[in-house]
Every structure is written in structure tokens, then in C-alpha cells.
Amino acid sequence: MIDALKARAVRRFFSLLKHTKGQFAGKPFLLEAWQEKILVELLATVNGDGLRQYRQAFWAIARKNGKTTLAAGVGLYLLVADGEAAPEVYSAASSRDQAKLVFDQAKAFVEASPVLSRELTVYRNLIASRDGFYRPISADVRRQHGFNASGIVYDELHTALDRELYDVLQTSTGARAQPLMLSISTAGNDRESVCYEVWEYARQVNAGIIDDARFHGFLAAAEPEDDWQDEATWAKANPNLGVSISMEYLQEACKRAMNEPAFLNSFLQLHLNMWVQGSERWLKAGAWDACKVIDGSWKMNAAEAFGGLDLASQHDLAAFVLVFPIDGKYYVKPWFWIPKETMLEKERKDKVSYAAWERGGFLTVTPGNVIDHDVIVKDILALAQVYKIVDIAFDRWGAEGVRSKLTDAGLSLFPMGQGFASMAMPTSELSRLISTGEIVHDGHPVMRWNMDNVVVEVDAAGNMKPAKDKARQKIDGAVALIMALDRAMRHKPTESVYATRGLREV
């Protein structure tokens, strides 16, 4: 049952808090109806002995709905208003930066409240009460034992690399009379994770499938059968719609998801709070073909060129792509190589005619059973005599010999990693340029095949990059194009997305 006095105490405590960011900064933290409901349920529901009923909670809410702010308030409540002797409260997450998001919000709450400032002392990584503390911890201390936690707020549980920290903290509360572990998260893409396990447990408790009176679950999420383009579906996952997140914002995000298939997973996961797969087909059907020019009247010889080189495996396809920024568009010209002795085997496996592409002049076949890198070096140097190649990005794997020879010949080469940090921004930019028709190509069949094969993997923040290990077939040309575009965009910072934002973070 809900204890009326405790419910009043919860409401009064949160009335002491003030918003510290955004449009509401400096204004009192007025609880929305849904926030008040779950807070009172969680903190004021008691057993017959007067102790709190709920000992574990999981709140799954889409991004931009204020769950971090709400959780920070819960952490402070557990420190100062829970009646616990010598409280130990922890903000936990897979990384220290993530753990500090909730903790730093709690610090800001204290600093903005005259009442709380009198009761608490704020340090860089500690909020101290008269007999207890609140501090952030992350997975790098998960093997430390000896915690005696009375309260835990675990942020973005879906980013947990394993369950060790979660289990250590959960088992650290055994000596407390009414401990509480609150986990908050958006949906993820790993159904083998601790987050999905807890999510499913919460769903089954809420559905009455599992009887656990000590577990509080709040799942604000769309269902697989829901229409993701329906505004009524958006409201299910966004309880703070119209307050901290606007309908206009979701409308724009939905439009992007409709136009960019690769962004659909991000929209479903981050804004509709739905579990998705980790990879998705990148381009909308026909999007690449729509960027093909008919007349072929390109003025590339006089334009600057930026290259991307993906050598991949020595037994497989290799690609070199030049991008030419001309009159506000980016003209794309690719070259490909494959070893002769493995070509027929690759044809059977990949179900394409490399031989036909060779006859058509779209593919260079090198002697032997591995790609002859000297042929690639010779061909690129010949291209450098025709085009003004400013610089070339290359995948470091297996490319040292080629890099050395091209550099010795006077070309400028830049190594480029293949992770999210390097690839996410140019991948997103290329997607945008294709959708707006600012990428132009001549319909090269190998490149067309590569582009159609691309799937992307998306991280927790919605960043995307090509997933070589998940692609249906070869994507070397697409990877080379993304690297080439990265170099081109770096030479035009005022026109680039690089100038306005970095990687998305959660």
C-alpha cells in the first residue's frame, strides 16, 4: 500500500529541486503526472512493517524524456530523505563519464537548492551528508567488493558490456533494511545482455507472469505491431511528450527514418524505445541509382580530388575511389581490382560476373591468387598524373607497403580507422548527400553492387558505420567512398557537418 505521509514527503522533496539546464533552467522541478505516479509508487509503497516494498526497479523510457534528471532526484532522495543510517548511494554505469551524468545532475540540484546546500557538501566526485555519501562508480571498479549500498542508480543499462558490475552492486545491499537499486535505460540491440534480461523480467512482472512484489517496472515503449509512423505510437514511448521533447522534433526524426533506412533502427530504438538488431540495410531502394548522371559531362581534370583506398583481403576485391567537389556536388569515380586465380571461385560465391565486369573495363584483374599491390600502386600513380589528388585516406590493415610506395612518390596519405569514431560522421554525411542528390556518379556496376550490399551497425547513440562482417556481399567500394568523402569534407569545414557537431552521445 502507499503510505500517505511518505508520498507527501516524496512530493515535498522533489519540490526543493530546480531545473539546471535548457529551457526550464532555474525553474522549480514540477513533476508531471506520470513522474509523480512512478515516484510515489516506487518510494512510498510500503509493507506491513512500514519498510519500502520495492527493492529493485527498472525504468525504460525513450531519449529526451528526462529520465536522467528524474533518476538524479531519486539518488538524492535516497541520500537525505530515506531514513537510512549511514547511507551509501551510487550512480553506476558502464563508463565513468556515463555514471557522472546522473551524479553531476544531482550535484547541480544540490548547488541550486538553498535547503539541500545546507545539508550536503559537494565535492568533485562526492556528495557528502552528515553520515553518508553519494558518488559515481563505473565498470572499471566492478571487481571491487565491500560496497554496502543503500541506494543505486544504474544509468543506461543497455550499454553494460557484461553483468559483473550489476551483480556486484545488487549483492552489495544485503545488509540494508530497505535498499533500492534503480536501473534506467533506453532499449538496446543485444538480446543476450543483462539489460534485455531485466527488461523481460519487468515485462513479465507487469504482465503478472512473474510474481515479484519487490520489483517495480515502468516500460514506456512501442510494441512491434505498432505503426512507428503513428503519433499515437510515439506517445507510448515518450511520456514527457510536449514537455522535454516536442512533437515537431519527433516528426522530423520520423521523416529522416522514412528517407534513410539506416536511421530507422535509431528512431525505433532511441525514440520509440524498441529493441532492434545491431545492423540495418543502409540505403533506400533506388537511392543510389537516383544519383546517376546521364550526360557524363564531368569537369574532373581541373577539380581537386580526394581519395579513399580499401585493400581488404589480398585474396578479394580492392577498391580506390576519388571524390571531386564540383559546383556544390560530389562526383564519384571508382576503380576495382581482383586476383585472377580466385576470380572464378569468387564468382560462384558472390553470384556476380567479375569476368563480365573485366571485359567491360570496370574491373582490373591482377595475376596470381593474391592482389598484386604493385599494380594498384602503378594505377593510382597513373591517375595522379590525370587528376589533382589532394590526399588519400586508407584503411591501415594490410596497406603499409602501398602507403610507403605512394608516399615516396609524393602523394599525401592519411590512415583512417574503421570504428565509429572515424567512420560515423562521413557515413552519415554520405547518407545525407545521397538523399539530397548532391552525390553524382556514372552508374559504375561494381560500385552500384557494393553500395547495394551495405548494411550499417548502429551504436547506442545512433551513430552508424558500415558493418563489413554483416554485409551480404562486398562493400569495399562503399568503404573507400566514405573515406574519400571524409577527406573532402575536412577541406571544406564551413560546409561540413563536422563544423556543427561531433559524434552523437547518450
Domain count for the chain: 3
Q: Are residues 293 and 331 in the same domain?
A: yes
Average pLDDT over residues 366-394: 93
Contact between 288 and 451 (Cβ < 8 Å): yes
Phi, psi of 268 (to 5 degrees): -65, -45
For residue 506, the model assigns a pLDDT of 45
Average pLDDT over residues 127-155: 84
Quick check: is 506 in a domain?
A: no
Nearest to 343 by CA among 324, 380, 370, 382: 370
DSSP β-bridge partners for residue 466: 456
CATH number where 478 lies: 3.30.420.240
Radius of gyration of the chain from its Cα atoms, rounded to whole angstroms: 28
**d(Cα 136, Cα 247) in Å, to the nearest integer?**
34
Of 220, 244, 263, the one marking the end of a domain is 220
Least confident of 151-160, 253-262, 326-335, 490-499: 490-499
Q: Are residues 394 and 312 in the same domain?
A: yes
Average pLDDT over residues 470-474: 76
**d(Cα 486, Cα 475) in Å, to the nearest integer?**
17
Q: Is the pLDDT at 494 greater than 60, yes or no?
A: no
Q: Is the pLDDT at 132 greater than 60, yes or no?
A: yes
**d(Cα 317, Cα 312) in Å, to the nearest integer?**
7
Q: Is the pLDDT at 471 greater than 80, yes or no?
A: no
Buried b / exposed e along 279-300 (16+ C-beta atoms within 10 A): bbbbbbeebbeebeeeeeeeee
Q: Where are the alpha helices (DSSP H) in 331-419?
A: 340-350, 354-359, 373-386, 400-408
In this structure, what C-alpha cell is assigned to residue 466? 558500415
Q: Is the pLDDT at 303 greater than 70, yes or no?
A: yes
Contact between 334 and 480 (Cβ < 8 Å): yes
Quick check: is 504 in a domain?
A: no
Average pLDDT over residues 423-431: 94
Strand stretches in 413-459, DSSP E:
413-415, 439-440, 455-458
Write out pLDDT tens, residues 165-204.
898 888 888 889 899 999 999 999 888 889 999 998 999 8
HSE at residue 164, side-chain half, CA atoms within 13 A, is 11
DSSP β-bridge partners for residue 320: 309, 335
Q: Are residues 245 and 148 in the same domain?
A: no
Q: Is the pLDDT at 436 greater than 90, yes or no?
A: yes
Sheet of 121-122: strand order equals 121-122, 127-128, 133-138, 88-93, 151-154, 180-185, 56-60, 215-219
Q: Is the pLDDT at 22 greater than 90, yes or no?
A: no
Q: Are residues 444 and 306 in the same domain?
A: yes
Q: Are residues 238 and 211 in the same domain?
A: no
Of 201, 220, 239, the one marking the end of a domain is 220
Q: Is the pLDDT at 283 greater than 50, yes or no?
A: yes
Amino acid 70 reads L
**d(Cα 104, Cα 321) in Å, to the nearest integer?**
46
* Bridge pairing between strands 121-122 and 127-128: antiparallel
Amino acid 490 reads R
Q: Is the pLDDT at 463 greater than 60, yes or no?
A: yes
Amino acid 194 reads V
pTM recorded for the entire structure: 0.67
Quick check: is 505 in a domain?
A: no
Least confident of 116-130, 162-176, 205-219, 274-288: 274-288
Quick check: is 282 in a domain?
A: no
For residue 400, the model assigns a pLDDT of 82
**d(Cα 431, Cα 263) in Å, to the nearest integer?**
10
Amino acid 417 reads G
**d(Cα 395, Cα 402) in Å, to the nearest integer?**
11
Give the best-scoring range by mean pLDDT among 130-139, 276-285, 375-384: 375-384
Residues 6 or more apart in contact with residue 409 via CB below 8 angstroms: 377, 381, 384
Q: Are residues 338 and 244 in the same domain?
A: no
Share of the chain above pLDDT 70, in %: 93
Q: Are residues 198 and 304 in the same domain?
A: no
For residue 278, the model assigns a pLDDT of 60
Of 180, 200, 220, the one marking the end of a domain is 220
Classify residue 304 as exposed, middle or buried by CB count within 10 Å of its CB (0-12, 13-18, 19+). middle
Q: What is the DSSP secondary-structure string of 485-497?
A: HHHHHHT-GGGSG
For residue 276, the model assigns a pLDDT of 84
Degrees, nearest 5: CA angle 326-329-335:
80
DSSP type of residue 498: G
For residue 92, the model assigns a pLDDT of 92
DSSP type of residue 209: S
Q: Are residues 351 and 465 in the same domain?
A: yes
Q: Are residues 341 and 249 in the same domain?
A: no
For residue 217, the model assigns a pLDDT of 97
Q: Is the pLDDT at 2 greater than 60, yes or no?
A: yes
Q: Are residues 348 and 471 in the same domain?
A: yes
Write out pLDDT tens, residues 440-461.
999 999 999 899 888 888 887 7
Quick check: is 103 in a domain?
A: yes
Mean pLDDT over the full length of the chain: 89
In this structure, what C-alpha cell is assigned to residue 380? 593510382
Quick check: is 314 in a domain?
A: yes
Q: Is the pLDDT at 495 greater than 50, yes or no?
A: no
Q: Are residues 263 and 341 in the same domain?
A: no
Nearest to 352 by CA among 236, 473, 254, 253: 473
DSSP type of residue 502: -
Quick check: is 456 in a domain?
A: yes
Contact between 199 and 176 (Cβ < 8 Å): no
| Structural domain containing residue 133 | 4-220
CATH number where 106 lies: 3.40.50.300
Quick check: is 124 in a domain?
A: yes
Q: pLDDT band for 145, please (50, 70, 90 cuts).
A: low
Q: Are residues 101 and 230 in the same domain?
A: no
